[in-house]
Amino acid sequence: MTERTRVVLAGAIGNVVEWYDFGLYGLLAPVLAGLFFPFEDRLAALVGAYGGFAVGFAMRPLGAVVLGRVGDRRGRKFVMVLSVILMGAATVGLGLLPTYAAIGIAAPLLLIAVRMFQGFSVGGEFVGSVTYLVETAPAERRGLAGSVANLGATVGMLLAAGAAALAEMKAGEFWRAPFLFGGVLAMAAFLLRRHLPEDPQDAHSGDKEREDRARRVGEGGSSETVRERWPAWRAVVEAPRTIALALVFTCGYGISNYLTMVFLPGFAHEFAHLGESAALQANTAAQGLALAVVPLAGWLSDRWVARRWVLAIAFFAQAALAWALFGGVLRLGVSGLWTAQLALAALLAAVMGTAPAMLSEQFPRAYRVSAHALVLNVGIGMAGGTAPMVAVALIRATGSAMAPAAYLAAACAASGMAAMLLKGGSGVS
């Protein structure tokens, strides 16, 4: 195995673990609702389960700031190894939790606590690996290199969809098995990542940091400034416009991701009254389609089409089609679900293949991990992580099952406009 192949695999496998963990919880939310939130009102139980999904994402910005700082100051490899250890521990812990029937109200409280730890642990995972992949790739292959991270994410979601479908077919305590398997994936990621080569610039970052601190002390400075201690704050101060645009972009990206690939199967089951197994089968097929589109989009953004155009077209297309596709699920049943799931997955995959390099290229190396992690985890983490819960709440508030379609359309339109205003990020004009 060549060194570059090992780098690519190590970068991708952590994303497999991350998205397997989070995707699994989202897809099994209807099952977990009955196990941990046994309310008489089914919609209330779903809101509780999706709330557990959201609270994990609420912790991601904190993890992004802390682990992003580690990645900028201790090196990309260090944070990649640390985050995968933390993720594996959280996923196994979730699979071992007692249910409401066993310990009562303590069960959902423990679930929320584990989700918070899980959210913190993945705060720097995706961005750490994306940054490592993009920085170590030739300039003309950054789009393809960045897409590898989301290729791993797609594999993780595909595994999650398959595991969730299997759990639906089994009875009793089998729901625990997919979460415990996440620990096996994390161990494999750790074994692969611990032997990664150091980026030469990372290898000297600690020496440079000590030299800079000594220079400041010699010049009369007694301590580091907040900006120097926390690269995320430096990004906010030095690049506020880019941070703001990237946040708008990632919010729509997150909402699209989790309404399309996590919420839609549950929507089809709860509101179109399709079988859970049929809904998860369509989702699994969509993940397989995304697996092919993600690297293709990254390659195209290196060779033929500027990244901003790939992203804008994909987002505007989702905004234009959202109402018709969600309506088709309600009117046409299984055929409508398959059409919606595959179409939205293909458009989302075009974003997934292009966005990693695009976002990484927006910021200088000194605070790249922190800035990228901040915008990604606030956007995808908080806006995306709350999207399924917000979608159910909108249905309850409006009395219309089509409310999530309007939510998706508005979010994607905003992201498309933000993509047009960000730097192009590739050699194609």
User: pLDDT band for position 227 (50/70/90)?
Assistant: low
| φ, ψ for residue 304, nearest 5 deg | -125, -40
Buried b (16+ CB within 10 A) or exposed e, 39-67: eeeeeebbbbbbbbbbbbbbbbbebbbbb
Listed ranges 123-132, 138-147, 382-391; the one with the highest mean pLDDT:
382-391
Mean pLDDT of 91-116: 92
5-14, 27-36, 207-216, 396-405: least confident range: 207-216
What pLDDT is recorded for position 140? Answer: 77
- Which amino acid, 230? W
Alpha-helical (H) ranges within 37-105 are 42-58, 60-74, 76-95, 100-103
Q: At what angle do helices 307-332 and 403-421 cross, to 10 degrees?
A: 170
Q: What is the pLDDT of residue 391?
A: 94
Please enumerate in sequence order all residues whose Cβ is within 8 A of that of 298, keeping only pairs 6 or more positions apart, or say none.
143, 144, 145, 146, 147, 148, 353, 354, 356, 357
**Does residue 130 register a pLDDT over 90?**
no
Residue 72 has pLDDT above 80, yes or no: no
- Euclidean distance between CA atoms 371 and 306, whole angstroms: 22
Residue 211, Cβ neighbours under 10 Å: how many?
A: 11
Least confident of 61-70, 94-103, 186-195, 311-320: 61-70
Position 429 scores a pLDDT of 37
User: Poorest-confidence range of 57-66, 175-184, 226-235, 390-399?
Assistant: 226-235
The string of pLDDT tens digits covering residues 166-189 is: 887 776 788 999 999 999 999 988
Strand runs (DSSP E) across 108-174, as ranges? none
Q: Which two tokens stand for residue 332?
A: 């046409």
Q: Which two tokens stand for residue 351?
A: 């974003």
Please compute the mean of the pLDDT values over residues 310-334 and round it to a whole number: 96
Q: Under a CB-based contact definition with an 8 Å cutoff, are residues 180 and 89 in contact?
A: no
Between these two residues, 14 and 256, which has the higher pLDDT value?
A: 256
Burial class (CB in 10 A: 0-12, 13-18, 19+), 332: middle
Please report the domains of the chain, with CATH numbers, ordered by start residue. Answer: 3-197+230-421 (1.20.1250.20)
Which pLDDT belongs to residue 124?
Answer: 64
Q: Average of pLDDT values for 9-36?
A: 84
b/e map 268-280, b = 16+ CB within 10 Å: bbbbbebebebbb
Query: 210 pLDDT exceeds 60?
Result: no
Q: What is the pLDDT of residue 263?
A: 92
Place of tokens 């959201």: 54
Tell me the per-residue pLDDT of 51-62, one tens digit each, with 9 for 90 and over: 887 888 778 788
Output the pLDDT for position 329.
96
Quote the pLDDT of residue 75: 73
By percentage, how much of the chain surpasses pLDDT 90? 36
Could you report the per-residue pLDDT of 135-166, keeping only the tens digit for each? 777 777 888 888 887 788 888 888 988 888 88
Residue 211 scores a pLDDT above 60 = no
Q: Is the pLDDT of residue 223 over 50?
A: no
- Could you tell me if 66 and 398 are in contact, meaning their C-beta atoms sit under 8 angstroms apart? no
Q: Which of 287, 91, 283, 97 is nearest to 189 (CA)?
A: 91
Q: Which of the pair, 81 or 129, is modelled with greater confidence?
A: 81
Predicted local distance difference test score (pLDDT) of residue 149: 77
Contact in structure between 202 and 81 (CB atoms under 8 Å) = no
Report the candidate in 421, 343, 358, 372 with the shortest Cα–Cα distance to residue 69.
372
Token pair, residue 127, equals 């961005």
Neighbour-count burial of 397, counting CB atoms closer than 10 A to its CB (0-12 exposed, 13-18 middle, 19+ buried): exposed
The pLDDT of residue 320 is above 90: yes
pLDDT at 258 over 50: yes
